[in-house]
Structure 1
Amino acid sequence: MTTGRRGSAAALRQWRVLAPVVLAALLGVVLAWILRGSGGLALVAIARVLADGVGAVVIGLAALPRLNDRLAVGWRPLTVLAGLWFAAEFTVLVCEAAEVVGVPVTRLGVHDFITFLGRLSGGQIGIAILFCTGAIACYSALAFRGPDTASADLVLVFAAVALSLRPITGHMSQQMFGSVLAAVHALAAALWLGLLLAMVLVLRTRGEWAATLPHYSKLAAPLVSVVALTGLINGLVRLDAITSLVTSGYGRILLAKLAILCVLVALGWWWRRSWVRQAADHRVTAEVSLRNAATEVLVMAVAFGLAATLAVTA
């Protein structure tokens, strides 16, 4: 009984890491707002980074057993997180509708919101995203009652679609292969953050870290390469000239995002030479692995905050 209580307490402590992760993401939004230098703090950017972050955790939890087949899908937390994702995406829709109508969120009328949903592509895309996130929440709730017959594949498909829909209809959709680049960028970033954060939330023992971390490390290298390449292309397409990197708000946010990406690449290189090898040989405690992974996740969350603001910056 005592061991069970200790295990529950340890699990609760690990899930508490979500609070500083949210704060780090919001810090990224604030930093982007400062770098933009004009306009107010966009509520849609706050809603979007929360939606993107929760979506990354959902896809990470669903994909985690593919890195370690001894791990089972946590259907109960998936159900809760998918519900939060649905709520966050609905908030994004409300904020986008208010921006289109040109009124504060608190003054958005029901008729205007319904018109936005039914007649504009942004609203219709939002409805599709709500359908996907709602389907994940319902399926996860059912899977919790019958985990033996449930499969995470359906969650992965719906999560991938939900994460891709908004990027493929953004500004890059006007460029050749732009939609593909935007979708690949969003999915790679979500997997990069989501898998590591899922490890922080789920892994309990030194053995679990030893079995899972090396597989993630091998996957992270191509993911970060894809994120860097597609992000650079997406960003440069929007700039009129190289000087816009410092003269425009969009360019300054892009530079900040690139700087954080460089920090993450350097950190990943160092982890791979030290922590990953030691963890694979069972020479690192679970607490050390948890701390290292949480540190990297916090830096990633700041980058997600920058990216969310970048996506709504003209």
Structure 2
Amino acid sequence: MTTGRRVSGTTLRQWRVLVPVVVAALAGVALAWGLRSEGGFPGAAFARVVADGAGAVVFGLAALPRLNERLHVAWRPVAALAGAWFAAEFTVLVWEAAGIVGVPVTELGAGEFATFLGRLSGGQIGIAILFCTGAIACYAALAFRRPDAASADLVLVFAAVALALRPITGHMSQQMLGSVLAAAHALAAACWFGLLLAMALILRTRSDWAATLPRYSALAAPLVLVIAATGLIDGLVRIGGIEPLWTSGYGRILLAKFTVLCALIGLGWWWRRSWVHRAGEHRVTADISLRNAAIEVTVMAVALGLAATLAVTA
């Protein structure tokens, strides 16, 4: 009984990590709203950051066993988070439809929303994303009852499609290799953020961290390079120069996101010196590893909120 209570307490403490992460992501949206200094309430951005965050964690939970073969997919959390992802994506569609029609969300009619879904490309893309997220939620719910017959590969494929579908059909699709850069940026960011948060939620012992963290650290460096390079190209193409970085709302948000990314690169460098190597040698407790991971994903969440606002900013 004592062991059971200790495990339950550890699990609860790990899932509490989501609280500061969600708050930081919403704070990132609020910060971007202030930097934009124009426009109304950023409801679409708040929904977008929830969708992006939930999608990244679903992707991370499904990919985690690839970093440590002793781990198994946590199907129940995948199902719950995929359900939240579906709901957030639906909310994004409602805000998009209201913006196109030119009415407040509360005044959007069912017929207008149906027209948006059926006749406009944004709505049709949204339907495809809803199909992917709904399929993941249903599959994960079934896999929880029959884990031996379930495959994480199906979740990874559907999650990757859902995460990349909107970016590859956005403004960058009109540029040479733009869709490739947009997809690489979205998937690298989801992998970087989602895997670390999944580790914070799932890993319970010193041995788990020792086996998983060094592999994640080796993967994180190239992911950050991809995120920085593709994000910089995307941003400069979008604003059309250097001066708009401080004269336009989009540019100021982009500059803030780049600043947070630089802070994360510095933090990652420090973790490699003070945490990753020692954790790989079993010289760091699971509690310290959880604390360090929570700090990093919380900072990452601020960047996620800024990115979500960029995605819905004209």
Q: Which residue does 2:198 correspond to in 1?
A: 198
Name the counterpart of 1:303. Answer: 303
2:8 matched to 1:18?
no
- 2:259 aligns with 259
Counterpart position of 2:245: 245
Report the counterpart of residue 181 of structure 2 in structure 1: 181
The AA in structure 2 aligned to 1:253 is: I
Confirm or deny that 1:313 pairs with 2:308. Answer: no
Aligned to 1:96: 96
Aligned to 2:55: 55
* Residue equivalent to 1:146: 146
The whole-number CA distance in structure 2 between the counterparts of 1:90 and 1:243 is: 36
1:169 Cα shift? 1.1
For residues 161 and 233 of structure 1, what CA distance do their matches in structure 2 show? Answer: 22
SS of residue in 2 equivalent to 1:274: helix
User: 1:163 and 1:242 mapped to 2: Cα distance?
Assistant: 29
Q: Given residue 228 of structure 1, which amino acid in structure 2 is its aligned partner?
A: A
Ranges in structure 2 where 5+ consecutive residues have no aligned partner: none
1:135, 1:241 → 2: CA distance?
A: 41
Q: CA deviation at 1:57?
A: 0.3
Name the aligned partner's letter for residue 293 of structure 1.
Answer: A
> What letter corresponds to residue 264 of structure 2 in structure 1?
L
Contact 1:257 1:307 in 2 (8 A): yes
- Could you say which residue in structure 2 is the equivalent of 1:76? 76
1:203-245 C-alpha deviation (Å, 9 max, x unpaired): 1111110000000000000100000000000000012331111
- Amino acid of the structure 1 residue aligned with 2:71: L
How big is each residue's C-alpha offset from its partner over 1:178-199, in whole Å with a ceiling of 9 and x where there is no partner?
A: 1111111000000000000000
Partner SS for 2:41: coil
Query: Shift of residue 37 of structure 1?
Result: 1.2
More off after superposition, 13-22 vs 65-74: 13-22
Q: Show structure 1 runs of 4+ deviating over 3 A.
A: none
CA RMSD of aligned residues (A): 0.7
Does residue 44 in structure 1 map to residue 40 in structure 2?
no
Q: TM-score, normalised by structure 1?
A: 0.99
Q: Secondary structure at the match of 1:148?
A: helix
Give, as a single letter, the amino acid of the residue that structure 2 aligns with 1:43.
G
Return the letter of the residue paired with 1:257: K
Tell me the distance in 2 between the aligned counterparts of 1:203 and 1:26. 26
Deviations 1:145-195 (A, max 9, x none): 111111100000000000001101111111111111111100000000000
In the aligned structure 2, how far is the partner of 1:241 from the partner of 1:213? 39
1:35-66: CA deviation from partner (whole Å, max 9, x where unpaired): 11111231100000000000000000000000
Give the match's secondary structure for 1:39.
coil
Q: Which one-letter code corresponds to 2:33 in the other structure?
A: W
Distance 2:160 2:257 in 1: 23
Instruction: Find the aligned partners of 2:253 and 2:84 in 1 and give their Cα distance.
Output: 28
2:33 maps to 1:33: yes
Report the alpha carbon displacement of residue 26 of structure 1 after superposing the two structures with TM: 0.5
Q: Residue 171 in 1 paired to residue 171 in 2?
A: yes
Corresponding position of 1:132: 132
User: Where does structure 1 lack aligned partners over 5 or more consecutive residues?
Assistant: none
Instruction: Give the drift of 1:277.
Output: 0.6
Question: What are the superposed Cα offsets for residues 45-92 of structure 1, whole Å, 9 maximum, x if unpaired?
Answer: 000000000000000000000000001111111111111111111111
1:34 offset after TM fit, Å?
Answer: 0.7
Q: Distance in 2 between matches of 1:244 and 1:285?
A: 46
Q: Which amino acid counterpart does residue 93 of structure 1 have in structure 2? A: L
Counterpart check, 1:110 vs 2:105: no
Asked whether the equivalents of residues 30 and 41 of structure 1 are also in contact (C-alpha less than 8 Å), the reply is no
TM-score by length of 2: 0.99
Hey, what does 1:9 align to over in structure 2?
Answer: 9
Once the two structures are aligned, what percentage of the paired residues are identical?
A: 77
Q: Which amino acid is 1:136 matched to?
A: I
117-126 or 232-241: which moved more?
A: 232-241
AA aligned opposite 2:7: G
The Cα shift of 1:252 comes to 0.6
